Amino acid sequence: MTKAIHNPALAGIDEHSSVSATFTVEPLQASYGNTLGNSIRRVLLSSIRGGAVVAFRVEGATHEFTTIPGVKEDVVDIMLNLKNVRVKVHTDEPVELRLEKKGAGPILASDIKSTADVEIVNPKQIIATIDDPKKSVVMDLVVESGRGYRTIEDSSTSRLHSDMIALDAVFSPVLRVRYKVDPTRVGQETNLDKLRITIDTDGTITPREAFEEAAAILVNQYTALSGSTTVEAAPALGQSDDEEANELNTPIEDLNLSARTANALVNNDIRTVHDLVTLSEQDLRELKGFGSKALDEVKDKLAELEL
């Protein structure tokens, strides 16, 4: 039996929507669920590249503590609304955008004249409201890409134009990250971890892109510290040799289970022996249409296969 630390595998991705997904990583060495889950979560929330409005200028307003004739919101409210405009920036340089609106009604993010370098992801975001039908509003915006959080003081010192009002900017496109660690097993290995990470983004990046970028950032950080030292890494449990791998890739239909049990497994997207052995007894009990008789039949079959 190898004493190397087994590498994990991305066992599945459950996409709840275009901006939310749950990633299942298993099997992990004992206690590695929290080790990986906490580190990936922290990187996801702090270090994923995104875009934000960092400064703006409204004709007729010289500073943030003022009002604009014919506009319902004051400049402070406009600042807060601009911080909620989600932008995808395709360049490392600051980009200037213009917004022009005439006549009564809401000013939306869709009124911003985007360019090839900038996409507005939430066009229905309200920026301000014109209540005078004869009023025209002209606004200049500066958007940038970055990581993490930039204070208003930093934005003030780096703004392109001195007459612009700076904003503190949250560049992170990841809105929320939750993770859960459950026990799992593979064959005779019973004290293993299963990690589930749920990622919600603002739509400027997909959950999968955020997950992979966070993992890549951690790889770079640890590689820089490891020097010339290398550690043997074993493949994911259940994939250590060809014979065992072939056995784990056996389709459920070839296990000679009863039709009812086999159909219940396949209907729950469990199609191979590998899919089956990564589930705990509790996971099996929670499967739709999977009763106690089916559980006993599966346990007997796995015992027969010495898994």
Domain limits, the chain? 49-170, 238-307
Q: What percent of the chain has pLDDT over 70?
A: 92
Question: Are 49-170 and 238-307 in the same CATH fold?
Answer: no
pLDDT for the residue numbered 273: 80
Per-residue confidence band for 17, with pLDDT thresholds at 50, 70 and 90: very high
| 241: pLDDT strictly greater than 60 | no
| 84: pLDDT strictly greater than 90 | yes
**Looking at residues 277-290, what average pLDDT do you find?**
79
Q: What percent of the chain has pLDDT over 90?
A: 47
The mean pLDDT value of the chain amounts to 86
Model confidence over 114-155: pLDDT tens digits?
Answer: 888 999 999 999 999 999 888 999 999 999 999 999 888 887
Model confidence over 193-223: pLDDT tens digits?
Answer: 999 999 999 999 999 999 999 999 999 998 8
pLDDT for the residue numbered 81: 94
Q: Under CATH, which architecture does the 49-170 domain have?
A: Beta Complex (2.170)
Per-residue confidence band for 1, with pLDDT thresholds at 50, 70 and 90: very low
Residue given tokens 């599945």 in the structure block: 12
How would you class 6 by CB atoms within 10 Å of its CB: exposed for 0-12, middle for 13-18, buried for 19 or more?
Answer: buried
| 19-22 long-range contacts, CB within 8 A, separation 24+ | 19/200, 19/201, 19/202, 19/203, 19/206, 19/207, 20/198, 20/199, 20/200, 20/201, 20/207, 21/198, 21/199, 21/206, 21/207, 21/208, 21/211, 22/196, 22/197, 22/198, 22/199
pLDDT for the residue numbered 231: 78
Measured between alpha carbons, how far is 159 from 96 in angstroms, rounded to an integer? 11
Q: 50-54, 112-116, 166-170, 236-240 — which one is most confidently predicted on average? A: 50-54
Per-residue confidence band for 298, with pLDDT thresholds at 50, 70 and 90: confident
Measured between alpha carbons, how far is 86 from 258 in angstroms, rounded to an integer? 53
Looking at per-residue pLDDT, the higher value among 245 and 23 belongs to 23
pLDDT for the residue numbered 199: 97
- Which CATH number is 238-307 given? 1.10.150.20
Model confidence over 86-99: pLDDT tens digits?
Answer: 999 999 999 999 99
pLDDT for the residue numbered 63: 78
**Looking at residues 56-75, what average pLDDT do you find?**
86
**Looking at residues 270-293, what average pLDDT do you find?**
80
pLDDT for the residue numbered 100: 93
Per-residue confidence band for 11, with pLDDT thresholds at 50, 70 and 90: confident
Measured between alpha carbons, how far is 229 from 43 in angstroms, rounded to an integer? 24
Least confident of 240-244, 248-252, 282-286: 240-244
